[in-house]
A and B are shown apart, each in its own frame.
Chain A
Amino acid sequence: MKNFHVSTTINGDDAEFICTPDETLLDVLRNRLGLTGAKEGCGTGDCGACSVTLNGRLVCSCLVLGAEAEGAEIETIEGMADGDDLHPLQRVFIDKAALQCGVCTPGILVAARSLLEKNPEPTDEEIRYWLAGNLCRCTGYDKIIKAVQIAAAEMRSV
C-alpha cells in the first residue's frame, strides 16, 4: 500500500503525518500523533467517542480517512483547554460530576462546544438531539445535559 504524506493544522498548529490509504483519522491521531483524547468506542460512527471538528464541522474521526485530511483544519479535545485553564465545559463537567469512566467525555465535550458555537442558548431538547450521536454507558444523560446548560449560561455571561 502506498503511504500518504498529509499536511494539516491540528489545534492551530501545523501537523504532518504519514498514513496508509485505509487508515482513519482516528487511528492517525491516536497511533501516529499521540493525541489519545479521541477514543474508539465502535469504529463505525455510532458512539461519537471519536468526535473532532474538521474544517469547523463536527465529525466522527473514525469515519474520515487520514488521507482525506490533507489541508484540513482539525480541532481535538487536546486543544480545548487554554494551557492549565480548563474550558468552562470541561470545568463544569468535573464540578457537576457529568462523567464516570470518562470514555465518552472527550467526544461529548467537543460536540457540546460545537453546539454552543452555533447556538449559545440551546434548550434541553436541542442539546439532546445534538448529542444523540454521543453515547454514554455510565453517567445517564441528565447530568451531561445539565452540565452543558450550566456551562452555556456561564459562557453567555462573560
Chain B
Amino acid sequence: MRYVKAENLETAAALLNGEPGISRILAGGTDVLVQLRSEAVEPDLIVDMKYLDGMRDITPEDGGFRVGAAVSGAELGEHKEVCALWPGVVEGFELIGSTQVQSRATMAGNLCNGSPAADSVPGMIAANATARIFGPEGFRNCPVADIPVSPGKTSLAKGEFITSILLPARPARASDAYLRFIPRTEMDIAVSSAAVSLELDGDGTCTAARVVIGAVAPTVLLVQDAGAALEGTKLDDAAIAKMVQAVEAACSPIDDKRGTVEFRTKTAGVLAKRAALIAYERAGGKK
C-alpha cells in the first residue's frame, strides 16, 4: 500500500486515475481506516486530500456556504452561521458516530461511502446541495442527489473526487430538520430516517418543500410527491397525511434484524411528519 499526501488537485486526480489497483481517498478516515483494519478492503493507494487548499474551509458563497470536503462534523457544528442557515443538515451530520468520530468524519466521506443509511445525506439532498468534483477532466458540479447510485457505489468516475459541497442560500422564512430512528440514543445506524426542508411565505403557507428519506431504499431518496403534498398548505393534518402516504409509497426497504419492511416503512412516514413539523416551526410557521 502507498500513502500519498496530495500536493495539488491535478496530481491527486492523475494518481487516482493511473492506479490500476484499489485506491481510496482519505479525508477523515473514519470509514477508510475501518475498512483497512477489518481487511474488508486492501487498498494499493491511499491519497490524503485534507491538506489541499480549501479542503478544510467553510466559505460564504452567494448567501450560502461552501464546505470543504475535509471539514469535520465538529468544525461544522461550531460554525454558528451554517447552523443557523441549515440546522437540519448540521444535526444530521452531527448524529454520526462518537465525539471522537465527529473530530474527523466528513460529509463528503459520508456521501461517498454510499450507505443508504448515511445520516448526513438526506439533509444535504433536502437542501439541494451541490458537490464540486475534481477529476482528470477538471472541475464539474453535481447535485448531491445524483452521487449515490446503489449501496456502496457512487456516480464518480475513476480519478474523480469531491472537493467541496455547496449549501445554497435560502429565503428568510425557511428551515429544515432531520430525524432518524435507532433502537438506542447514540452510536447506531439509522433504521429509517427523514429530512425535510421548507420555504414559507409571509402568512406561513409552504411555498417549497423537499422531503428525503434514508435507509428505506437502495439509496437515500428524494420523494417529489411528498414535497408536493406540503406545498400550498400550512401543513394541516390532511396535507401531512398525504405527505406520509407519499413517503410510505416510496419506501422499498430491506428486511433484516434491525428492522422489518413494515417497521421501516411506517417509521419513515412518522419521521417525515415530525421532521416537517420541526422544520415548519424553525422557519417561523405557527400552528
Among candidates B26, B72, B100, residue contacting A48 with C-beta atoms closer than 8 Å: B100
Set of chain B residues within 8 Å of A80, measured between Cβ atoms: none
Distance in Å from the Cβ of B205 to the closest Cβ of chain A?
37
* Residues of B in contact, count (CB < 8 Å): 25
B169 at the interface (CB under 8 A from A): no
Among candidates B1, B2, B38, B46, residue contacting A44 with C-beta atoms closer than 8 Å: B38
Set of chain B residues within 8 Å of A122, measured between Cβ atoms: none
A154 at the interface (CB under 8 A from B): no
Q: Which residue of the partner chain A has the closest CB to B29?
A: A63
Q: How far is the CA of A111 from the CA of B29 in the complex (A)?
A: 20
User: Is the Cβ of B33 less than 8 Å from the Cβ of A58?
Assistant: no
Set of chain B residues within 8 Å of A111, measured between Cβ atoms: 99-100
A4 at the interface (CB under 8 A from B): yes
Count of inter-chain pairs, beta carbons less than 8 A: 85
User: Is the Cβ of A21 less than 8 Å from the Cβ of B99?
Assistant: no
Q: How far is the CA of A21 from the CA of B36 in the complex (A)?
A: 12
Set of chain B residues within 8 Å of A129, measured between Cβ atoms: 99, 186
Set of chain B residues within 8 Å of A67, measured between Cβ atoms: 3, 5, 48
User: Is the Cβ of B1 less than 8 Å from the Cβ of A1?
Assistant: yes
Q: Which residue of the partner chain A has the closest CB to B42?
A: A22
User: Is the Cβ of B3 less than 8 Å from the Cβ of A45?
Assistant: no
User: Is the Cβ of A58 less than 8 Å from the Cβ of B100?
Assistant: yes
Set of chain A residues within 8 Å of B33, measured between Cβ atoms: 24, 45, 62-65
B147 at the interface (CB under 8 A from A): no
User: Is the Cβ of B103 less than 8 Å from the Cβ of A132?
Assistant: no
Most chain-B CB neighbours within 10 Å: which of A51, A60, A133? A60
User: Is the Cβ of B37 less than 8 Å from the Cβ of A133?
Assistant: no
User: Is the Cβ of B46 less than 8 Å from the Cβ of A21?
Assistant: yes
User: Is the Cβ of B37 less than 8 Å from the Cβ of A43?
Assistant: yes
Among candidates A2, A4, A48, residue contacting B98 with C-beta atoms closer than 8 Å: A48
Q: Which residue of the partner chain B has the closest CB to A54?
A: B103
17 other A-B residue contacts (CB within 8 Å) besides A58-B103, A132-B187: A21-B1, A22-B36, A44-B34, A45-B34, A45-B97, A45-B98, A45-B100, A51-B100, A54-B103, A63-B33, A63-B101, A68-B26, A132-B99, A132-B186, A133-B97, A133-B98, A133-B99
